Structure 1
Amino acid sequence: MTRIPNVLVAYGTKNGSTAEIADVIADALRGAGLRCEARPAGDVDEVAAYDAVVLGGAVYAGRWHRDAARFARRHRKALADRPVWLFSSGPLDPSAGERDIPPVRGAARAATRIDAREHITFGGCLTEGAKGFVARMILKQGRGGDFRDMDRIRAWAGGIAKEIDAERTSRP
């Protein structure tokens, strides 16, 4: 009997939207038969127990969330030994669903350093009660909203599950 792979979905978030995306990814991976947990990137001390990692970060003012970037730096050696996928969450418009949005510099740097298999950008979410001066200004200008496409997020996670399963079943 083959062991069920254990996957970590780590994330950096400011107002919780990226955490919700991470939870959707983790649920989809569990639904595909994998062991999975979603955790704030800043709370993860060790990745040795995980067979694969999905790392996500919110994008604010063109920067990937610092907890995601720090996680990638701190665990660089361990991440290089396992499959890793990256995601960003950020545009407050439908653009992420209309075209491929390249990673911001911090996410691109992380992808290169840890040899990530893929990076994807999902739409962001900014609603009333968001923390931060810039967030409040965006909301005041009427530019907030929820632009996350949960079906697209689940489909992406499904692709990850298929890759992990294919590797598991191809091993002797």
Structure 2
Amino acid sequence: MPDFILSQILVTVTLIIECCAMQLKNKNYILAALSVSCFFNGLHYLLLEQPTAGYIFLFSSIRFLISIKWKFQWISIVALCVSLIITISTYTGLLSMVGFVATVFITVGSFSNNDKFLRLMMILGGSLWLLHNFLLWTPVGILVEVIFVSSSFIGYYRYYIIKQSVKT
């Protein structure tokens, strides 16, 4: 089986998980689902010969699990440093930079105790991963990020915009 086809199959698993993840209310469930989806997404990028994105996503799988238990800002800083080291050591150009900046938003959000802030950071980071996937041209990867960003926005809308308008 060609690597491209296998990569699209693996990222389809990511797609299925992320369709549901951002509709969950419990932040820890969101982070656990994102951990699993990152694992499959990382393998997808490695098959597409994108080591920066691949290793960042594999590391993100671990980072999301850590952020469920511990919200210390120093862990967030360590995670950002690890992502920076991954980016520098696997640098391939513009895609590496876009992926790193996207990871900064998502890392900062995942270590926040504020669900609303988490969702906003996921929208920003997911939008940059969407740009990354367009530049790379990974069709299912593009669909993953379109659904992830849309789902994140819908979850944000449901939990924060509608509920706020009902209160007023």
Do the two structures share a fold, i.e. TM-score over 0.5?
Answer: no
Which protein has the bigger helix share?
Answer: 2
Which protein has the bigger strand share?
Answer: 1
TM-score, scaled relative to structure 1: 0.33
TM-score, scaled relative to structure 2: 0.34
